[in-house]
Amino acid sequence: MPRAAFRARLGAGSARGGKELALASRQLRFVLNGRPVQGEVDPTRSLLDVLRTDFALKGPKYGCGKGQCGACSVLVGGQVARACVLRAGRVAGQEVTTLEGLAPDGRLHPVQQAFIDRQGAQCGYCLNGMVISAVALLRQDPAPDRARVEAALRDNLCRCGTHREIVASVLLASGAQADD
Ligand code: FES
Ligand code: FES
Protein backbone atom coordinates (compact mmCIF):
# COMPACT_ATOMS: atom_id res chain seq x y z
CA MET A 1 0.00 0.00 0.00
CA PRO A 2 2.67 2.55 -0.97
CA ARG A 3 0.29 5.30 -2.03
CA ALA A 4 -3.27 4.19 -1.58
CA ALA A 5 -5.76 6.11 -3.68
CA PHE A 6 -8.61 6.49 -1.25
CA ARG A 7 -12.05 7.44 -2.30
CA ALA A 8 -14.08 10.48 -1.47
CA ARG A 9 -17.45 9.20 -0.34
CA LEU A 10 -20.87 10.75 -0.37
CA GLY A 11 -23.31 10.13 2.42
CA ALA A 12 -25.47 7.07 2.08
CA GLY A 13 -28.38 7.68 -0.26
CA SER A 14 -27.12 11.09 -1.35
CA ALA A 15 -28.22 12.35 -4.74
CA ARG A 16 -25.45 14.93 -4.94
CA GLY A 17 -23.54 15.07 -8.18
CA GLY A 18 -19.86 14.85 -9.01
CA LYS A 19 -19.35 18.63 -8.93
CA GLU A 20 -20.36 18.88 -5.29
CA LEU A 21 -18.26 15.84 -4.48
CA ALA A 22 -15.22 17.58 -5.96
CA LEU A 23 -15.92 20.72 -3.90
CA ALA A 24 -16.29 18.70 -0.70
CA SER A 25 -13.07 16.77 -1.18
CA ARG A 26 -9.54 17.77 -0.41
CA GLN A 27 -6.18 16.25 -1.09
CA LEU A 28 -5.12 14.58 2.12
CA ARG A 29 -1.66 13.24 2.84
CA PHE A 30 -0.55 11.45 5.94
CA VAL A 31 1.59 8.53 7.03
CA LEU A 32 -0.38 5.38 7.73
CA ASN A 33 1.33 2.51 9.48
CA GLY A 34 4.70 3.77 8.35
CA ARG A 35 3.82 4.42 4.72
CA PRO A 36 2.87 7.71 3.06
CA VAL A 37 -0.65 7.78 1.65
CA GLN A 38 -2.59 10.44 -0.18
CA GLY A 39 -5.92 10.86 -1.86
CA GLU A 40 -9.04 12.93 -2.35
CA VAL A 41 -11.24 12.78 0.71
CA ASP A 42 -13.93 14.82 2.40
CA PRO A 43 -11.94 16.11 5.39
CA THR A 44 -15.03 16.17 7.57
CA ARG A 45 -15.43 12.39 7.44
CA SER A 46 -14.30 10.63 10.57
CA LEU A 47 -10.84 9.11 10.51
CA LEU A 48 -12.46 5.84 11.57
CA ASP A 49 -14.64 5.82 8.46
CA VAL A 50 -11.65 6.52 6.22
CA LEU A 51 -9.53 3.82 7.83
CA ARG A 52 -12.21 1.14 7.77
CA THR A 53 -13.86 2.03 4.43
CA ASP A 54 -11.05 3.32 2.25
CA PHE A 55 -8.16 1.33 3.67
CA ALA A 56 -10.06 -1.78 4.82
CA LEU A 57 -8.32 -1.58 8.18
CA LYS A 58 -10.72 -3.36 10.51
CA GLY A 59 -8.61 -3.17 13.66
CA PRO A 60 -10.23 0.07 14.85
CA LYS A 61 -13.84 -0.73 15.78
CA TYR A 62 -17.01 1.32 15.75
CA GLY A 63 -18.46 1.16 19.24
CA CYS A 64 -20.24 4.23 20.56
CA GLY A 65 -19.29 6.67 17.81
CA LYS A 66 -19.17 9.41 20.45
CA GLY A 67 -15.61 9.22 21.73
CA GLN A 68 -16.65 7.44 24.92
CA CYS A 69 -15.75 3.77 24.66
CA GLY A 70 -12.28 3.63 23.09
CA ALA A 71 -13.01 0.82 20.62
CA CYS A 72 -11.91 3.00 17.68
CA SER A 73 -8.58 4.08 19.17
CA VAL A 74 -5.54 4.71 16.99
CA LEU A 75 -2.24 6.44 17.57
CA VAL A 76 -1.82 9.87 15.99
CA GLY A 77 1.69 11.19 16.43
CA GLY A 78 2.15 8.55 19.09
CA GLN A 79 -0.82 9.73 21.16
CA VAL A 80 -4.04 7.81 21.61
CA ALA A 81 -6.86 9.33 19.56
CA ARG A 82 -10.52 8.42 19.18
CA ALA A 83 -10.88 7.94 15.46
CA CYS A 84 -14.68 8.04 15.53
CA VAL A 85 -14.73 11.71 16.51
CA LEU A 86 -11.53 12.81 14.78
CA ARG A 87 -12.08 14.37 11.40
CA ALA A 88 -9.87 12.93 8.71
CA GLY A 89 -8.59 16.37 7.76
CA ARG A 90 -7.01 16.71 11.22
CA VAL A 91 -4.40 14.03 10.51
CA ALA A 92 -2.90 15.80 7.48
CA GLY A 93 0.86 15.44 7.66
CA GLN A 94 0.71 13.26 10.77
CA GLU A 95 1.63 9.68 11.55
CA VAL A 96 -1.32 7.40 12.15
CA THR A 97 -0.83 3.91 13.52
CA THR A 98 -3.61 1.36 13.71
CA LEU A 99 -3.64 -2.07 15.33
CA GLU A 100 -2.43 -3.49 12.02
CA GLY A 101 0.59 -1.21 12.12
CA LEU A 102 1.73 -2.78 15.38
CA ALA A 103 2.35 -6.08 13.63
CA PRO A 104 4.29 -5.39 10.45
CA ASP A 105 4.96 -8.54 8.46
CA GLY A 106 2.63 -10.43 10.77
CA ARG A 107 4.98 -10.37 13.77
CA LEU A 108 2.88 -9.51 16.79
CA HIS A 109 3.75 -6.61 19.04
CA PRO A 110 4.71 -7.80 22.56
CA VAL A 111 1.49 -6.28 23.89
CA GLN A 112 -0.58 -8.26 21.39
CA GLN A 113 1.30 -11.44 22.30
CA ALA A 114 0.74 -10.78 25.99
CA PHE A 115 -3.02 -10.45 25.45
CA ILE A 116 -2.98 -13.87 23.78
CA ASP A 117 -0.80 -15.44 26.45
CA ARG A 118 -2.87 -14.02 29.31
CA GLN A 119 -6.21 -14.53 27.51
CA GLY A 120 -7.05 -10.86 27.84
CA ALA A 121 -10.30 -10.94 25.89
CA GLN A 122 -13.68 -12.55 25.60
CA CYS A 123 -15.52 -11.10 22.58
CA GLY A 124 -12.51 -8.96 21.76
CA TYR A 125 -14.48 -5.94 20.64
CA CYS A 126 -12.74 -3.61 23.07
CA LEU A 127 -9.37 -5.17 22.39
CA ASN A 128 -8.23 -2.73 19.73
CA GLY A 129 -8.52 0.19 22.11
CA MET A 130 -7.04 -1.72 25.02
CA VAL A 131 -3.97 -2.73 23.00
CA ILE A 132 -3.50 0.72 21.46
CA SER A 133 -3.76 2.39 24.89
CA ALA A 134 -1.40 -0.15 26.43
CA VAL A 135 1.19 0.40 23.71
CA ALA A 136 1.04 4.15 24.28
CA LEU A 137 1.37 3.65 28.04
CA LEU A 138 4.36 1.32 27.79
CA ARG A 139 6.14 3.73 25.47
CA GLN A 140 5.82 6.38 28.17
CA ASP A 141 6.36 4.10 31.13
CA PRO A 142 7.90 0.69 30.34
CA ALA A 143 7.31 -0.60 33.88
CA PRO A 144 3.98 0.73 35.14
CA ASP A 145 2.43 -0.59 38.32
CA ARG A 146 -1.11 -1.94 38.41
CA ALA A 147 -2.61 1.40 39.40
CA ARG A 148 -0.95 3.12 36.46
CA VAL A 149 -2.22 0.47 34.04
CA GLU A 150 -5.74 0.70 35.43
CA ALA A 151 -5.65 4.49 35.11
CA ALA A 152 -4.39 4.32 31.52
CA LEU A 153 -7.19 1.96 30.53
CA ARG A 154 -9.90 3.58 32.63
CA ASP A 155 -11.68 5.16 29.67
CA ASN A 156 -11.62 2.02 27.56
CA LEU A 157 -14.86 0.18 28.15
CA CYS A 158 -15.16 -3.60 28.12
CA ARG A 159 -18.72 -4.85 28.12
CA CYS A 160 -17.57 -8.41 28.83
CA GLY A 161 -16.01 -7.46 32.14
CA THR A 162 -12.58 -8.76 31.18
CA HIS A 163 -10.71 -5.89 32.82
CA ARG A 164 -8.87 -8.16 35.25
CA GLU A 165 -7.31 -10.24 32.47
CA ILE A 166 -6.67 -7.14 30.38
CA VAL A 167 -4.71 -5.44 33.14
CA ALA A 168 -2.82 -8.67 33.76
CA SER A 169 -1.95 -8.80 30.05
CA VAL A 170 -0.50 -5.32 30.10
CA LEU A 171 1.52 -6.11 33.21
CA LEU A 172 2.78 -9.25 31.50
CA ALA A 173 3.79 -7.21 28.48
CA SER A 174 5.69 -4.83 30.72
CA GLY A 175 7.62 -7.70 32.19
CA ALA A 176 5.90 -7.51 35.54
CA GLN A 177 4.28 -10.51 37.16
CA ALA A 178 0.56 -10.01 37.50
CA ASP A 179 -0.43 -11.06 40.98
CA ASP A 180 -3.55 -13.12 40.74
S1 FES B 1 -16.33 4.20 18.86
FE2 FES B 1 -14.92 5.79 19.19
S3 FES B 1 -14.88 6.05 21.35
FE4 FES B 1 -16.47 4.60 21.01
S1 FES C 1 -13.75 -8.54 25.68
FE2 FES C 1 -15.77 -8.08 24.98
S3 FES C 1 -15.92 -5.94 25.11
FE4 FES C 1 -14.02 -6.41 26.04
**Which domains, ranges and CATH numbers included, belong to the chain?**
5-98 (3.10.20.30), 108-173 (1.10.150.120)
Are 46 and 82 a contacting pair, CB within 8 Å?
no
Confidence of residue 178 (pLDDT cuts 50, 70, 90): low
Query: How many Å lie between the centroid of ligand 1 and the Cα of residue 147?
Result: 24
C-beta of 91 in contact with ligand 1 (< 6 A): no
Query: How many Å lie between the centroid of ligand 1 and the Cα of residue 177?
Result: 31
Per cent of the chain over pLDDT 70 is 84
C-beta of 65 in contact with ligand 1 (< 6 A): yes
Confidence of residue 179 (pLDDT cuts 50, 70, 90): low
| pLDDT attached to residue 148 | 98
C-beta of 68 in contact with ligand 1 (< 6 A): yes
Q: Which ligand is nearest to the CA of 65?
A: 1
Are 119 and 109 a contacting pair, CB within 8 Å?
no
| pLDDT attached to residue 5 | 58
Over residues 31-80, the pLDDT tens digits come to 999 999 999 999 999 999 999 999 999 999 999 999 999 999 999 999 99
Q: Is 10's pLDDT higher than 60?
A: no
From 118, 119, 123, mutation site for ligand 2 pocket: most ligand atoms within 8 A of C-beta: 123
Stretch 22-37: mean pLDDT, rounded? Answer: 89
C-beta of 172 in contact with ligand 2 (< 6 A): no
Stretch 156-177: mean pLDDT, rounded? Answer: 93
Q: Which residues contact 7 (CB under 8 A, 6 or more apart)?
A: 39, 40, 41, 53, 54
| pLDDT attached to residue 98 | 98
| pLDDT attached to residue 159 | 95
C-beta of 121 in contact with ligand 2 (< 6 A): yes
Over residues 130-154, the pLDDT tens digits come to 999 999 999 999 999 999 999 999 9
Average pLDDT value over all residues in the chain: 89
* DSSP assignment string, the chain: -TT-EEPP-PPTT----HHHHHHH-EEEEEEETTEEEEEEE-TTSBHHHIIIIIS---SS--SSSSSSS-TTEEEETTEEEETTSSBGGGGTT-EEE-GGGGSGGGPPPHHHHHHHHTT--SS-TTHHHHHHHHHHHHHH-SS--HHHHHHHTTTS--TT--HHHHHHHHHHHTTPPPP-
Confidence of residue 106 (pLDDT cuts 50, 70, 90): confident
